[in-house]
Amino acid sequence: MTPILKLALIGHVFAGLVALIFYYAMIPNLIGKNPQLNFLKRLSLFGLVSLLVSWILAGYYYVTYYGQNVKPLIKSGQLPWAHSILMETKEHIFLFLPFLGLVLLASLLSIKSDITRDDNLRKALASLAFLIVALGTAVTIFGVVISGAAK
Amino acid sequence: MDWTTILKISHLIGTVLGVGAVSFIDFFYLRAARDGKIEPSEVEPIRLLTPFLRLGLIILILSGFGYFLFYRLTGHEERLLNPRFLAKITVVGVILINGLLLQTKKIPVNIGGPISSASWYTAFILGAWRALNLSYFAIIAAYVFVVLMAIFTLGVIKKLLKIPI
């Protein structure tokens, strides 16, 4: 594996984790009594940027290395389903995540009213942030199992 | 200093911060609740300790994934499917979900507190007990038992100390 590929592998994991930390931090703030709109906008922006960084790095690793070098190992190993089920699922969720992040950021940027008075809006935004965290956590765990199967 | 040492030190710092903070939070909570009402000044130590708990969790997760990448890049991928490693990921997941439920007040402190303490100690023990050779489900069953025991123990302590809340 070349140094650039190693960097892509390491970078996509850490950028993804950092994104999840940002989105995770949004949930209690949205549900709490005093949500701070500017703080939420910042978290959402940082979360989206981190997701996009993770997206580009993972895309590079997947297109240039995974298919030719890792996938055959998994398919011929003891856990071929790690690719056929987990990686196939991971790919699609992973492609979808930045769009969810974009929806969340766009929703926060478009809020003109007092967010503290609109419980339904806050609950909907918290649910969206939770969905990103839940899906992100799922693909992270899939990644661990997929890597474990590449032996 | 090599990468394994850096990872080990940061993982230990994360665990120490988390286990230490959760232990003191439990102690201050019990002390504050002794008279049946919690004054704002009694909450202050808990408020001060909470960022350390969060910092410990972030360091633990990032260094944990540092180990994941280290195993992946050094050809030790089989360690990623080690039941102890997978159980530890599960326990950290419980800490995250429980923390969220506690912060959003969707779970009572009487339940969420012991889950948090038991989970942090379980993560600590799983990290330290390298010779542990049990299946994933056996470890998780033991963990569930520990959590239930922690909830039960807190109830007993509250009864013994006559804590009404």
Mutation for testing the A interface, residue in B50, B65, B86 having most A CBs under 10 Å: B65
The C-alpha atoms of residue A28 and residue A64 are separated, in whole angstroms, by 39
Q: Residue A34 belongs to what domain range?
A: 3-149
The C-alpha atoms of residue B143 and residue A136 are separated, in whole angstroms, by 25
Q: What pLDDT was estimated at residue B34?
A: 80
Q: What pLDDT was estimated at residue A116?
A: 81
Q: Which residues of A touch B79 (CB under 8 A)?
A: 148
Domain count, chain A: 1
Whether residues B65 and A14 touch (CB distance < 8 A) is answered with yes
The C-alpha atoms of residue A77 and residue A149 are separated, in whole angstroms, by 7
Q: Which residues of B touch A134 (CB under 8 A)?
A: none
Chain A 13-42, CB below 8 Å of chain B: which residues? Answer: 13-14, 17, 21, 24, 27-28, 31-32
User: How many CB atoms lie under 10 A from the CB of residue B130?
Assistant: 9
Q: How confident is the model at residue A118 (pLDDT cuts 50, 70, 90)?
A: confident
Digit-coded pLDDT (tens) for A2-35: 999 999 999 999 999 999 999 999 999 998 888 8
User: Domain of A27: which CATH number?
Assistant: 1.20.120
Whether residues B69 and A150 touch (CB distance < 8 A) is answered with no
Given a cut of 90, whether residue B33 has pLDDT beyond it is: no
DSSP state, residue A32? S
How much is the ipTM here?
Answer: 0.82
Whether residues B77 and A148 touch (CB distance < 8 A) is answered with yes
Given a cut of 70, whether residue B165 has pLDDT beyond it is: no
Gap from A49 CA to chain B (nearest CA, Å): 18
Digit-coded pLDDT (tens) for A50-100: 999 999 999 999 999 998 999 999 999 888 999 999 999 999 999 999 999
Q: Which residues of B touch A140 (CB under 8 A)?
A: 65
